[in-house]
Amino acid sequence: MRNPSFDQMAERNLALTVGCPDCGVGPQARCGYRDFRGDWHLVENFPAHLRRIRDAKEARA
Ligand SMILES: [Zn+2]
Protein backbone atom coordinates (compact mmCIF):
# COMPACT_ATOMS: atom_id res chain seq x y z
CA MET A 1 0.00 0.00 0.00
CA ARG A 2 1.33 3.38 -0.88
CA ASN A 3 -0.50 5.43 1.72
CA PRO A 4 -1.91 3.01 4.25
CA SER A 5 -4.29 4.34 6.85
CA PHE A 6 -3.63 3.71 10.51
CA ASP A 7 -6.28 0.99 10.53
CA GLN A 8 -4.72 -0.72 7.53
CA MET A 9 -1.29 -0.64 9.14
CA ALA A 10 -2.74 -2.07 12.33
CA GLU A 11 -4.49 -4.82 10.37
CA ARG A 12 -1.31 -5.66 8.50
CA ASN A 13 0.73 -5.83 11.68
CA LEU A 14 -1.89 -8.04 13.26
CA ALA A 15 -2.05 -10.26 10.17
CA LEU A 16 1.72 -10.77 10.31
CA THR A 17 1.37 -12.64 13.59
CA VAL A 18 -0.09 -15.68 11.80
CA GLY A 19 0.53 -17.47 8.54
CA CYS A 20 -1.73 -16.88 5.55
CA PRO A 21 -4.16 -19.62 4.48
CA ASP A 22 -4.58 -18.03 1.07
CA CYS A 23 -1.08 -17.39 -0.27
CA GLY A 24 0.70 -19.76 2.12
CA VAL A 25 3.31 -17.41 3.56
CA GLY A 26 4.42 -17.89 7.15
CA PRO A 27 4.21 -15.49 10.08
CA GLN A 28 6.12 -12.20 9.61
CA ALA A 29 6.00 -12.53 5.81
CA ARG A 30 3.88 -10.16 3.76
CA CYS A 31 1.04 -11.55 1.69
CA GLY A 32 1.71 -11.84 -2.00
CA TYR A 33 0.59 -13.41 -5.23
CA ARG A 34 2.10 -14.87 -8.37
CA ASP A 35 1.50 -13.21 -11.70
CA PHE A 36 1.04 -15.02 -15.00
CA ARG A 37 4.82 -15.34 -15.38
CA GLY A 38 5.19 -16.93 -11.98
CA ASP A 39 6.83 -13.88 -10.42
CA TRP A 40 6.04 -13.15 -6.79
CA HIS A 41 4.58 -9.76 -5.86
CA LEU A 42 3.60 -8.40 -2.47
CA VAL A 43 -0.01 -7.31 -2.22
CA GLU A 44 -0.29 -3.53 -2.32
CA ASN A 45 -3.99 -2.75 -2.43
CA PHE A 46 -4.97 -4.30 0.88
CA PRO A 47 -3.14 -5.13 4.15
CA ALA A 48 -3.29 -8.90 3.83
CA HIS A 49 -5.64 -11.58 2.59
CA LEU A 50 -8.96 -11.36 4.35
CA ARG A 51 -8.91 -14.87 5.78
CA ARG A 52 -5.50 -14.13 7.30
CA ILE A 53 -6.77 -10.97 9.00
CA ARG A 54 -9.76 -12.92 10.30
CA ASP A 55 -7.53 -15.72 11.58
CA ALA A 56 -5.24 -13.21 13.30
CA LYS A 57 -8.18 -11.52 15.01
CA GLU A 58 -9.50 -14.87 16.20
CA ALA A 59 -6.05 -15.89 17.45
CA ARG A 60 -5.78 -12.67 19.43
CA ALA A 61 -9.27 -12.90 20.91
ZN1 LIG B 1 -1.95 -14.05 1.97
Model confidence band, residue 37 (pLDDT cutoffs 50, 70, 90): very high
Distance 11 CA to ligand 1 centre (A): 13
Kindly state whether residue 33 falls inside one of the protein's structural domains.
yes
Distance 13 CA to ligand 1 centre (A): 13
Contacts of 1 (CB under 8 A, 6+ apart): 8, 12, 44, 45, 46, 47
What was the pLDDT predicted at 1? 60
Kindly state whether residue 14 falls inside one of the protein's structural domains.
yes
Distance 51 CA to ligand 1 centre (A): 8
Distance 24 CA to ligand 1 centre (A): 6
Kindly state whether residue 55 falls inside one of the protein's structural domains.
yes
Kindly state whether residue 41 falls inside one of the protein's structural domains.
yes
pLDDT of 17 higher than 90: yes
What was the pLDDT predicted at 3? 80
Kindly state whether residue 1 falls inside one of the protein's structural domains.
no
Kindly state whether residue 48 falls inside one of the protein's structural domains.
yes
pLDDT of 60 higher than 90: no
The model's pTM is: 0.85
Kindly compute the dihedral angle of the four CA atoms of residues 47, 49, 51, 56, in this order, to the nearest 10 degrees: -40
Q: Pick the closest to residue 22 from 34, 14, 31, 10 (CA basis).
A: 31
**Domain hosting residue 43, numbered range:** 6-60
Q: Pick the closest to residue 20 from 33, 1, 7, 9 (CA basis).
A: 33
Provide the domain count of the chain.
1
